[in-house]
Amino acid sequence: MQQTSAATHSVPATSPFKGLVVVELGHSVAAPFAGQIFGELGATVIKVEKHDGDAARSWGPPFQDGASTMFQALNRNKQSVVCDLRDAEQTDALKRLIAERADVVLQNLRPGQVDTLGLDGAALLALKPSLIYCNMGAFGHAGPLRHRPGYDPLMQAFGGIMSTTGEAGRPSVRVGASIVDMGTGMWAVIGILAALWQRQATGQGRIVDVSLFETATSWVSLIASQVLVSGEAPSRYGSGTASIVPYKGYLTADGEIVVAAGSESLFRSLARTVGHPEWITDPRFTDNPSRVHHQDALYGMLDEIFEQHPTHYWLEKLEAAGLPCSPVHDMNQMLAHPQTRALGLVQRVPDSEMNFIGLPLSFDGQRPQPRFRPPTLGQHTEQLLGQTSSHETAPTETHS
């Protein structure tokens, strides 16, 4: 089904991609996250899995409804077909499905695998010139490492993110969230949307390339811009940053708080709030470059001050002074916060006991909602490929 045909139908505000068909040759995190974004926004997403399923199905504990919560959190609003890509008959059935129905193909299989199988972008565009095909590789489509696989922690290391994360004098630290995998999924969606927009005018498809490495470099692009000027690799600053002072977290008497006094007026307000107005005229602290140069002295004094009182005391004083600040929440505190609830960020998946974080956007004040639960392995194989899966299937739902 073509993107242009969807314009003739009434499309709900939160389902702008209704009528779009996406085939996901994906596993783990990056491609499934991209597919889920499309699915959450109304597209029909067909997930192609091997006979033992996406490896993420076993990434637990915890598990819920027969699969890891990590898999369930990345694969709602999809249909699942099992296809042995080494079997010519099954692969031909998949190619027919793509030629007849697909607008978009996402793939993050092992480098070179789709070329061997005749499922690469050039081969599929020859079958269907209007297809948008997105490669989601590890190191990108060119260069000496283009054939190597990769995973989020490897790319946080290779892309420089880990070198900037953690405390000075201590080992590098990986960002806990899968920012490279999920960021690559977001860039895939952005690139595909640009290609779909062009297809509206030309009718022609194209190949989109994104990669984990390129995403990692984009996350550190601000830091890299400074290095490109100075030539100096940055130190690690914990909760702080290289070029803005004071701008970091502090231990309090009962927890942690982050204060971002990133302008001259905010620094003056902070100095008065913590009882040291003389800092305003101190030559070491008169402007941000001076404070950066003398940050050890300034942070040493602020650390001692913030430890004297509990977090709620500081939040009240700082907020009253108009100073940007935040407690350091753990996951349970974030999920239970009234702001999280007011935005409806935690969503119940229909026909299940599953709750997940929804997409971080709204249309006319409405956040897209999950339409149906993650599929069981091979649930839609017979329906979509005309083949019987060896796996137990749940009742299917008819989708556009």
Residues identified as active-site: 181
Q: Which of 379, 397, 396 is nearest to 388 (CA)?
A: 379
- Per residue, the 3-state secondary structure of 280-307, as one string, reads HHCHHHCCHHHHHHCHHHHHHHHHHHHC
Collapsing DSSP states into helix, strand and coil, what is residue 388?
A: coil
Collapsing DSSP states into helix, strand and coil, what is residue 107?
A: strand
Round to whole Å and give the CA distance between 367 and 41.
Answer: 10
The answer to whether 85 touches 97, Cβ cutoff 8 Å, is: no
The answer to whether 5 touches 25, Cβ cutoff 8 Å, is: no
Ramachandran class of 77: left when φ > 0, alpha when ψ lies in -120 to 50, beta otherwise: left
- Per residue, the 3-state secondary structure of 16-76, as one string, reads CCCCCEEEEECCCCHHHHHHHHHHHCCCEEEEEECCCCCHHHHCCCCEECCEEHHHHHHCC
Collapsing DSSP states into helix, strand and coil, what is residue 165?
A: coil
Number of residues assigned to the chain: 400
C-alpha distances in angstroms, 76 versus 68, 288, 311, 354? 13, 47, 38, 10
Angle at 391 between CA 356 and CA 25, to 5 degrees: 60
Radius of gyration of the chain (CA): 25
Round to whole Å and give the CA distance between 18 and 26.
Answer: 21
The answer to whether 82 touches 51, Cβ cutoff 8 Å, is: yes
C-beta atoms surrounding 157 within 10 Å: 15
